[in-house]
A and B are shown apart, each in its own frame.
Chain A
Amino acid sequence: MNKIFEVPMYPYARHADEDAATPVRRKVVIIGAGPIGLAAAIELAQQGIEAIVLDENDKVSFGSRAICFAKRPLEILDRLGCGQPMVDKGVLWNVGKVFFDDRQVYDFNLLPEEGHERPAFINLQQYYFEEYLVNRVRELQDQGAPIEIRGRNKVSAIGTHPDHVTLEVDTPEGSYNLEADWMIACDGAGSPTRRMLGLDFVGRVFEDNFLIADVVMEADFPTERWFWFDPPFNKGQSALLHKQPDGVWRIDLQLGWDIDKEREKRPENVIPRLKEMLGDDVEFELEWVSIYTFQCRRMEKFRHGRVLFAGDAAHQVSPFGARGANSGLQDTDNLCWKLKLVMEGSAPESLLDSYDMERVHGADENILNSSRSTDFITPKSEMSRVLRDAVLDLSEQHEFARPLVNSGRLSVPCTYDGSPLNSADALLDGPARTRPGSSCPDAPLGDDFLLRKLGDKFILLTIDAEAPDVVEEAGITVERLALSVKDDKSLALKERYLGDHDSGVYLIRPDQHVAARRPSYDETQFRAAIRRAVGKE
């Protein structure tokens, strides 16, 4: 049987650039056709900017890899025109169970907040995720958008210059030279780009190994997330069972540090472990097995002149909390609108330094959260194990201990507090979740949703407030979206954007983060806020 990840999705085809007498200059070259590189290319192409993706391979992700996609990335994917197939295919779950030793200590229901178009997250194999992104690329190509994926194009040398980047690219038919005005490196945790440029990548290596197995089974396990601390079938370690589409289950087994990886990966060693976990009578087939060790680290800076790093190439976290691909999608969401304005000449190049600042902040938050989960799951000292076990024992009888149990804090968008693009919060005592720097929470608007209406441009959102329909400032056109609290009977809009205020005006960035807010429109203040949001104030 051919699996999707065994079929070349973007096979090598000789490109005219390979035969050019002098190197061809492209607008944006993206290294890596993983989830982050493809998302960046789609976003840029939708904005009319030429995006060329180079990948040394020609297939989607081998094995499921990233499997949890959170609400914010799904909202971003909606803007990229491919959120719906992901949600349609993905598995939704709300119930989780926590086991300790030989017993269940408690279960929980996530009870996601009402009034959002997208769920808190879905489970979906990375190969489907990439397939749907590739489909979207093909759709854009059919519409004539300036986007390409060049399979089996491996970058072997990079030269950086003040106003462009030069690349040497190896293909099955030889090598060629290419130039780019800008380059985005999305080439993963082992980023060859980072290595070729001799850049740092420091942080903490966790001394542990995890066996991940994708198992196809017809089992009557419910669609729930099960997490075991110190189970009988994996003594002293942890385990996770999570459902994916197509009857595929993700199983993670912590193995400890001192193991023989090749030996542990062999089916004759994996299958008995899984039988012990699932029970002897469960029929299953192994789809994919891998062993990984993880690090929590990031580059000191994500921008190096005309080379911008995004996703795992820039930062790496432990897998607990699904903060890898999810945070990478927020990187390109933050980057692409800024790059567009800089390329058009509507914003100074220094606007890109705010990408570095804001997403370093995001990476630090993710590293902090995932390190804490790791420290709970794999205690590093005798006393941290005693405290961890105390929390788990108490959690069985006493509700108070359950929030202390940490098997991963699920990815939520970062708020860019302190960003130089923010204007001071002038909606005093307004809802904290929509303060400047926040990503806009969704809200229902009859049959529609707020985020659909915000789209991907600067917006002046007015709620029961007057303002001009269009504001032009410093080369930026800001259109008004006029709403009333009456547009949402559930009152989520009021609760999320006004709080105790009767009216509010928000300046919202193209990545749907709040730049400024006030109770009413003030011409001088909002013009200054627009300039500030594009790095001109």
Chain B
Amino acid sequence: MSNPHTETLILTPNINGADDFYADLLAAHDGRDKADSDAFNARLLLVLANHIGDRAILKQALAAAALTQEEDLT
């Protein structure tokens, strides 16, 4: 497994133009019903996960999304 000291998930602000990104995200869901939006979200997360690739980062992302306390991340 990768070393957590060199492979750390970025959890500080990292998106240039955060408001614009958020607007893009909402716009992508415009006109979709719940099932369609769920499917879109699932595809989006798979695309992003593949871009990241690193399993250690992905594990940290899963934990971060679960709102797990930081001491449990090891």
Name A residues whose Cβ lies closer than 8 Å to a Cβ of B: 383, 386-387, 389-391, 393-394, 398, 400-401, 404
Contact = CB atoms under 8 A, between A and B. Distances in A.
B50 A387 contact: no
B55 interface: no
Contacts of B50: 400-401
A393 B47 contact: no
Contacts of B25: none
Nearest to B51: A400
Interface in B6-45: 38-39, 42-43
A394 B46 contact: yes
A394 B38 CA distance: 14
The 7 closest A-B pairs by CB, nearest first: A390-B42, A400-B50, A390-B43, A386-B42, A387-B42, A386-B38, A394-B43
Given A387-B46, A394-B43, A394-B46, 13 more contacts: A383-B38, A386-B42, A387-B42, A389-B39, A389-B42, A390-B42, A390-B43, A390-B46, A393-B39, A393-B43, A400-B47, A401-B50, A404-B46
A405 to B, nearest CB: 12
Nearest to B40: A390
A404 B46 CA distance: 10
A394 B43 CA distance: 7
What interface size band does chain B fall in?
under 10
A396 to B, nearest CB: 11
Contacts of A404: 46
Contacts, number: 24
Contacts of B43: 390, 393-394
B39 A401 contact: no
Contacts of A394: 43, 46-47
18 contacts: A383-B38, A386-B39, A386-B42, A387-B42, A387-B46, A389-B39, A389-B42, A390-B46, A393-B39, A393-B43, A394-B43, A394-B46, A394-B47, A398-B47, A400-B47, A400-B50, A401-B46, A404-B46
A404 B38 CA distance: 19
B39 to A, nearest CB: 6
A60 to B, nearest CB: 45
Interface string B36-67: 00110011001100100000000000000000
Contacts of B46: 387, 390-391, 394, 401, 404
Nearest to A399: B50
Contacts of B42: 386-387, 389-390
A79 to B, nearest CB: 37
A477 B42 CA distance: 59
A105 to B, nearest CB: 13
Contacts of A398: 47
B43 to A, nearest CB: 5
Nearest to B42: A390
A314 B50 CA distance: 38
A391 B47 CA distance: 10
Q: Give the one of B38, B42, B50 with max A CB within 10 A.
A: B42
Contacts of A401: 46, 50
A390 B38 CA distance: 9
Nearest to A390: B42
B62 to A, nearest CB: 13
B11 to A, nearest CB: 24
B45 to A, nearest CB: 8
A158 to B, nearest CB: 46
Contacts of A383: 38
